[in-house]
Structure 1
Amino acid sequence: MNRIYEMNNLSKRKAKDIDLKEIFLVIKRRLWLILILTIITTGASAYYSYLNNAPLYQSSSRIIIEANPENRNTLQVIIKDSIVLDKVVKELGLSQSVESLAGRITVASVDNSQVVSISVTDTDPNRAADIANTTAKIYKQEIPTIMDFNDVRLLSDAKVNPLPINQSQNKLILIGFIAGLVIGIGLVFLLDSLDDSLRSEREVEEMLGLPVLGRVPKMHKRNLKKKNITQIELEVGGETIGYK
């Protein structure tokens, strides 16, 4: 019972005596573990981001369709029709299908005006601008034949946008880096709390309630063989005593 009581008191004293220096020493003792976990989580985040979050770029060209709202809606639908996009694919030499291309084109009226925006999303910023401009050009050429409508004018060409519109990949990598640090530090403190070994003279004194008069330094068998040491040194009260 006395042993248990002493252990409980020791635990309470240790909890009270925890300071920044002890926290630093705990982290320093297993810093390698934190670094390994951080590298793993950061690398995994970067790999996942590379595979699943390819950057997407968007460019828009604008045309003017001089028609009433009802007719303009019909004219806008034709922009994404295969009659127009099939010629876009052939002119630019695209490897994708017309259906796939149509899924990456957005057509919308700007503020309910006669100005219509043709927006293209692609993994290549230059190709996105080329597709938007080519679509607007071919549409202007073909719409008189399709609908007998000639009041379409090109307003502005699409410009290359070098900035991706989707979430930055660096954000996911940063999350992985922070998660690795948090998990690593948490694991280090967990392992330290489970380690009941005595690592300092102060802990021995608290455990036994007696002052420590001496200690035996660490000795490595390999070093003893190399140096052919026949004397063991014992420190007592700050003085070194040789023993053969």
Structure 2
Amino acid sequence: MNQGYGSTNLKAREINLKEYYDLIKKRLWLMILIIILTTLAGYFYDSKYNNYVPLYETSTRIIIGPEAESMVTLMVMIKDPSILEKVIQELELTRTTETLAAQIDVVRLDESRVIQIAVTDEDPVLAANIANETARIFKEDIVSILQFSDVRLLSEAKEMPYPLNEKSNGITIIAFVFGVVVSIGLVFLLDSLDGTLKKDRDVEEILGVPVLGVISNMNRKKYISKKHKNYQDLEIRGETIGVE
């Protein structure tokens, strides 16, 4: 009893899946069109309104001598306006010391005597120049400011070929998924609004009587062609009989 019920449910599930497949296959062109349109709309919106600006980061390292009394003081001095003002003048930058200070990040590496000066900028070449120039001017001026001369350049900043922030295609992906969902929903909506009878079961449900037979679709061209051929065969047979 249970086996028969289970097989019936399985068969019904297979029929439903086939109906869904046929329905999607029938309107596949509409789904593809909607997905293409929504994806293109998302791509153009992303290109026009998503103000993507690539940022490049590079860094230089300096090493402070062991006799330095306060590493924190030296690190603060690197971003001091007196140092940055000279960097702006040397590189002929059109920005304030506050703006430049926001682009510079000074960190001490693992409690060592090495200080890293990292610079972020839209121009990778300019980022490297700012980092190197800041380290050079700091090394020269710290002598007169704090009477400290044991500062050595450990490594120079180099131009970075790849930006820190990769461009995101999130809006385009969302538009694609939205197109898939909308297209599937529209296909099922159109099917539900279609009042034509598509299956034997529809006729049985409406009329309340079993279907005894189904007339298959007839191809008009094939029917006319076959009828014409039969007519020609009949004429040939008639002529043959007449000759005999």
Same fold (TM over 0.5): yes
Q: 1:98 and 1:66 mapped to 2: Cα distance?
A: 28
Q: 2:93 and 2:105 mapped to 1: Cα distance?
A: 18
1:64-213 maps to which residues of 2 (within 5 A)? 64-67=63-66, 70-166=69-165, 168-169=166-167, 172-173=168-169, 175-195=170-190, 196-197=193-194, 203=198, 206-208=201-203, 209=211, 211-212=214-215
Larger radius of gyration: 2
Q: 1:93 and 1:30 mapped to 2: Cα distance?
A: 57
Q: 1:91 and 1:16, CA in 2 relative to 1: closer, same or farther beyond 3 A? A: closer
CA RMSD of aligned residues (A): 3.0
Q: 1:20 and 1:112, CA in 2 relative to 1: closer, same or farther beyond 3 A? A: same
Contact 2:31 2:184 in 1 (8 A): no
Note the C-alpha offset of 1:18. 2.3
- Matched length: 205
Contact 2:119 2:128 in 1 (8 A): yes
Residue 234 of structure 2: aligned partner: none
**Aligned sequence identity (%):** 33
For residues 80-108 of structure 1, give each alpha carbon's deviation from its aligned partner in whole angstroms, at most 9, with x where no partner exists.
00010000001101111110000110111
Paired amino acid for 1:176:
I
Contact 2:58 2:128 in 1 (8 A): yes
Residue 45 of structure 2: aligned partner: 44
Note the C-alpha offset of 1:43. 2.2
Flag structure 2 segments of 5+ consecutive residues without an equivalent.
Answer: 1-12, 204-210, 226-244
SS of aligned partner of 1:239:
helix
Residue 35 of structure 1: aligned partner: 36
Contact 1:63 1:116 in 2 (8 A): yes
Among 213, 216, 223, the residue aligned to 1:239: 223
Is the strand fraction higher in 1 or 2? 1
Q: 1:18 and 1:205, CA in 2 relative to 1: closer, same or farther beyond 3 A? A: closer
Q: 1:143 and 1:182 mapped to 2: Cα distance?
A: 58
Q: 1:103 and 1:154, CA in 2 relative to 1: closer, same or farther beyond 3 A? A: same
Which range moves more in the overlay, 189-198 or 76-85? Answer: 189-198
Paired amino acid for 2:194:
S
Residue 9 of structure 2: aligned partner: none
Note the C-alpha offset of 1:76. 1.3
Contact 1:61 1:136 in 2 (8 A): yes
Flag structure 1 segments of 5+ consecutive residues without an equivalent.
Answer: 1-11, 216-233
Q: 2:26 and 2:100 mapped to 1: Cα distance?
A: 59
Note the C-alpha offset of 1:19. 5.2
- TM-score normalised by length of structure 2: 0.73
Contact 2:109 2:116 in 1 (8 A): yes
Note the C-alpha offset of 1:21. 4.7
